[in-house]
Amino acid sequence: MNNLILLVMSFTIVYCLEFPSFYHRSTDIYIEIAQAIEKCDGVEMEMVRDFPKLSMVTLNKNQNKPNKGFVLFGEHARELISPETGLHFVKKLCSQNEEMKSVKDNYELRMIVNVNPLSREKVESGDFCKRENENGVDLNRNYKSHWSKDHDPEMVRTAPGPFAFSEAETQTVRDELKKFSPDVFFSIHSGTLALFTPYAYSKEQPTENISSMMEILTEVREKHCETCKMGSCGHEIGYLSPGTSMDYAYDDLKIPYSFTFEIYHGGLDVRTKKHATKFLEVQSSHNKHRITDEEKLDQLLRDHSCFAATSTKEMPPDECFKYFNPEEKDQYDFYVENWTQAITLSLNRVAEQRQAQQQQQ
């Protein structure tokens, strides 16, 4: 009888950790992008790193379009929904969608859809809490912008690497950004719901172009993420995160529009705060100090940001998966479409703002 119980338990564990069939493995992401762009004018894919194998999707390469955009997906391996959204974005780019037509008319675009492929493969095999790259380095702490290895009690420590740009993945992003010199940069994450601008390394809010960025994010929140926190990252979440791609793009490379979108949290819903309130009642059931629903929501959004590097050491792998990624197909379909639309809207609004600015000069 005991052996039978153990056997059933073992099968239960395997079932809980099974990689959902509607998600894509790293090789399938590459294959499906290649298939999507076969009949897609102006869209190409090229290998930009041999090890790890990193490919970049380009739109209108060297076509002298008025705007340049760069979108980075999958810096943290366990955030599977980020590259999934990148794949969906590429497929939509090759459709007859009207909003995408505006992107195709006005942008030279470059995207790395899966920038942490080796660790993603480990996640695909069941290590659903894996965040860092193959060397145990957090890619979104390995950029030069205010990179730090020293301990600061206000900084949430992860694994920044032995020195800035120690990793092949961040070196590749750096080199491609420098060559391309885009006008707008996005880094796509999950772990909470948020629309962030620089800075992540400081609680001070930047001044350069901030009102223009906030105008765009306000519309994105209204149309695509009612629950999202919005604003300067370090100021909004209360944690300092040196060495991020967003700050590097904004501070070091002077990219005027630099954003981080955090697109999924397992306990929240982009469409309404009702789901969040119910979840928060459970979270705070042991808290003797009475706080409002808005305070609970604010605390949850802060604590679960990818910048906060929430500890998942004690979390079972299947809980990690649900924490960062939709577990049902209908949820998955909604989120990849919702955030594809949000990125598209942002790109179009950046183009409109830049055109208006140029006309005023």
Instruction: Please identify which of the residues 124, 176, 236, 262 carries the catalytic annotation.
Output: 262
For 8, residues 6+ apart whose C-beta sits below 8 A from its C-beta are none
Distance CA 39, CA 44 (A): 10
> What secondary structure does DSSP assign to 158-226, as a single string?
----SSTT-SHHHHHHHHHHHHH--SEEEEEE-SSEEEEES-SS-SSPP-TTHHHHHHHHHHHHHHH-T
* C-alpha distance across the termini of the chain, in Å: 81
Distance CA 240, CA 152 (A): 9
CB 59 within 8 A of CB 43: yes
Three-state secondary structure readout of 115-130: CCHHHHHHHHCCCCCC
User: Is 262 a residue of the active site?
Assistant: yes
Helix (H, G, I), strand (E, B) or coil at 283: helix
Distance CA 69, CA 181 (A): 9
**201 preceded by a cis bond (ω within 30 of 0):** no
Q: Which of the residues are catalytic?
A: 262
